[in-house]
Amino acid sequence: MNIEKLKEIVRTVLPSVDVVIGYKKGLDALHPVPCFVTSPDEIDALVLNPACTHNLAAYLPSLKKKTAVVVKGCESRTVVQLVQEGLIKRENVVVIGVPCQGVLSARKVLNAINHQPVVEAAFENDAVIVKTRKAETRLALNDVASDKCLTCQYPTPVLSDHLAGEQVESKVDEQAAYQDIRQFDAQSLEERRAYWLKEFDRCIRCYACRNACPMCVCRESCIAETRDPHWMSQKATLNEKMMFHMIHAIHLAGRCTECGECERACPMGIPVAKLKKKINMEMKELFGYEPGISIDDKPPMYTFKVEEEKIEEHKIR
């Protein structure tokens, strides 16, 4: 993450686009916010560090301008997936790629410093030093990184017009990418059921996960809210909460680029990204497909083969 290189790129790109989307300082050092740069004197406000977690590609479908966007590995997959589905035009986007060593989970950091107000934060290669009014804490990046980063396969953007920094190799081998999901699946049915009932019980149906999701593009016609068809009531009961999360997960089948925005946005800390990762794992096993890798691919649910190699007919027992 090289901020000087990034500023240099933004300076060269800015004249040819309407807006550049990057990050600037937010309420504290742990919470940078999206920044829309339209003139050269705004460039110096840009920041780039492991606390920059937002998926800026999520703005692209609603912006009807020529846009340059700063993306990390997972978010470049979002751009690819959006282009693939025809939701944005490739020629309207300039992709500024940032090779990434992993981003912070603000929740994990705050837990580690006992939720004290952060005065300052400094970032090193594999650590973050957080300064509160009382103490200075050094945290290893691995301990406070977002869950998605721990199994990240694409730290270097898969698509970029400009690359701010050196390529980064994935630290996790391909076999281990879905290890957490396999571990979870090794539990008994009752354990998994109890786990999700407990998690979904906290859901307040704020729909932040859906609103943050760059691939949730139905907007006002989302079936979680329409009255016609009336898929769900507004009751705050467990079966309705469960249904909402099923809708989100299944509508993302073969489309989720695992940027982890749903989980980051959740105010209740529900691990909703797990559901999507499970489906992605099955997509890879069934169809050898990963979302957001190539613009010319087709999402597996939008297509078929007459003879499916991996799908066998099920017996009732």
Partner 1 sequence: MSVVEGKELRIVGFLCNWCSYGGADTAGVSRFKQPTDLRIIRVPCSGRVDPLFVVKALINGADGVLVSGCHPRDCHYSDGNYYARRRLEMLKRFLPFVGIDARRFHYTWVSASEGQRWQQTVTEFTTLIHELGPTPAFPQDQTVLKEVRA
Which of left, alpha, beta for 3 (phi over 0: left; psi -120 to 50: alpha)? alpha
Nearer to partner 1, 119 or 238 (CB): 238
If the CB atoms of residues 41 and 228 are measured against partner 1, the closer one turns out to be 228
Binder among 246, 267, 288, 294 for partner 1 (CB under 8 A): 246
Contact between 300 and partner 1 per CB under 8 A: yes
Distance of closest approach, residue 290 Cβ to partner 1, in angstroms: 15
- Concatenate the DSSP letters of all residues of 120-148 into one string: EEEE-SSEEEEEESS-EEEEEHHHHB-HH
249 binds partner 1 (CB under 8 A): yes
Give the count of beta carbons closer than 10 Å to the beta carbon of residue 243: 16
Say if residues 130 and 121 touch (Cβ distance below 8 Å): yes
**Pair of tokens at residue 20:** 């550049």
Instruction: Kindly state the smallest distance separating residue 288's Cβ from partner 1, in Å.
Output: 13
Q: Confirm or reject binding of residue 279 to partner 1 (CB under 8 A).
A: yes
Q: How many residues would you count in the chain? A: 317
Over the window 182 to 211, marking each residue x when it contacts partner 1 by CB under 8 A and - when it does not, the resulting string is --xx---xxxxxxxxxx--x----------
Which alpha helices (H) appear in the chain, and where do they start and end?
Answer: 3-13, 73-84, 106-112, 141-144, 147-150, 179-185, 189-201, 208-212, 238-251, 261-265, 273-287
Burial class of residue 315, CB neighbours in 10 A (0-12, 13-18, 19+): exposed
Using the rule CB under 8 A, give the single segment among 16-24, 31-39, 164-172, 248-256 that binds partner 1. Answer: 248-256
Tokens, residue 286: 């069934």
Q: Which two tokens stand for residue 295?
A: 């613009």
Query: Per CB under 8 A, does 59 bind partner 1?
Result: no
Select from 52-60, 74-82, 153-161, 180-188 the region that touches partner 1 (CB under 8 A).
180-188
Q: Is 282 in the site for partner 1 (CB under 8 A)?
A: yes
Residue 311 in contact with partner 1, rule: CB under 8 A: yes
User: Contact region for partner 1 (CB under 8 A) — 70-78, 96-104, 139-147, 230-238?
Assistant: 230-238
Over its C-alpha atoms, the chain yields an Rg (Å, rounded) of 20
Tell the residue number behind the tokens 């980063």, with chain if given. Answer: 149
In whole angstroms, how close is the CB of 87 to partner 1 at the nearest point? 21
**Under rule CB under 8 A, residue 309 binds partner 1:** no
Q: In terms of CB distance, is 79 or 249 closer to partner 1?
A: 249
Binding site for partner 1 (CB under 8 A): 181, 184-185, 189-198, 201, 223, 231, 235-239, 242-243, 246-247, 249-250, 253-254, 275, 278-279, 282-283, 286-287, 300-301, 304-306, 308, 311, 313-314, 316-317
